[in-house]
Chains A and B, each alone.
Chain A
Amino acid sequence: GAGVSQSPSNKVTEKGKDVELRCDPISGHTALYWYRQSLGQGLEFLIYFQGNSAPDKSGLPSDRFSAERTGGSVSTLTIQRTQQEDSAVYLCASSEDINSQYFGPGTRLLVL
């Protein structure tokens, strides 16, 4: 079946602009995760949605970052007033209940 998809695959933006990154999880997966992969920090957890529960936002690095998940499926990660240090690969993953997380191909964000 279809895996996790993310769009866009690449995004170049100017410092100070807002960006939206989209994730389509595997159909039927109740949990959705966002991670960030950067050269200096490795793979970092950002936010986690599980069903209708309040999301775990403990990994968001600042209040410029937010995410929502509509209808228990698609998720959008928004970065406001982007900074150069936001340049990274943003990875989305989904999972069924307690099972393994399956990752999408990522969105490569470059902030100039």
Chain B
Amino acid sequence: AQSVTQPDIHITVSEGASLELRCNYSYGATPYLFWYVQSPGQGLQLLLKYFSGDTLVQGIKGFEAEFKRSQSSFNLRKPSVHWSDAAEYFCAVGARGNKLVFGAGTILRVKS
């Protein structure tokens, strides 16, 4: 069965510092991987996705993620965090055109 683990429930970083949010997945085939962001009281916004090809994918708002098959990981990174990045981040895995399985989420706090 598919599963996603986000080991960090909360992360706090200083504004301007770099960020890495961890995601590990379990899936029997080549996964479709996603990162979503959710601001308080809002729906989920797609940051980036990996289907195939280049293992380093670029997304919106300056985010990127790297797919590492050997580690079953899809970590999200940003070189310099802005206060507006404070939100909850969800990693998800899905089959082709099918339901998504989400991790528990990581809440990002940004301190000035």
- Chain A residues near B (Cβ < 8 Å): 4, 31, 33, 35, 42-43, 45, 48, 50, 56, 59, 91, 93, 95, 97-106
Most chain A CB neighbours (cut-off 10 Å) among B49, B99, B101: B99
Query: CB < 8 Å: which of A56, A99, A104 contacts B99?
Result: A56
List which B19-72 residues lie within 8 A (CB) of chain A: 32, 34, 36, 42-46, 49, 51
Interface magnitude class on chain B: 20 to 34
Let me know if A45 and B90 touch, CB within 8 A: no
Report how many A-B pairs have Cβ atoms within 8 Å: 50
Query: CB < 8 Å: which of A42, A50, A59, A91 contacts B44?
Result: A91
Chain B residues, CB < 8 A from A45: 99-101
Let me know if A50 and B97 touch, CB within 8 A: yes
Q: Chain B's interface: helix, strand, loop or mixed, by majority?
A: strand
Shortest distance from the beta carbon of A82 to any chain B beta carbon, whole Å: 22
Tell me, in angstroms, the Cα distance from A103 to B43 when the chains sit together: 6
Tell me, in angstroms, the Cα distance from A45 to B96 when the chains sit together: 15
Could you jot down 14 A-B contacts, CB within 8 Å?
Answer: A33-B100, A42-B102, A42-B104, A43-B92, A43-B100, A45-B101, A59-B99, A95-B97, A98-B51, A98-B96, A100-B49, A101-B34, A101-B46, A103-B45
- Chain B residues near A (Cβ < 8 Å): 32, 34, 36, 42-46, 49, 51, 90, 92, 94, 96-105
Let me know if B99 and A100 touch, CB within 8 A: no
Further 14 A-B residue pairs, CB within 8 A, beyond A42-B103, A56-B99, A105-B42 = A33-B99, A42-B104, A43-B102, A45-B99, A45-B100, A45-B101, A50-B97, A59-B99, A98-B96, A98-B97, A100-B34, A100-B49, A101-B34, A101-B100
Q: Which residue of A lies closest to B104 (CB)?
A: A42
Shortest distance from the beta carbon of A103 to any chain B beta carbon, whole Å: 4
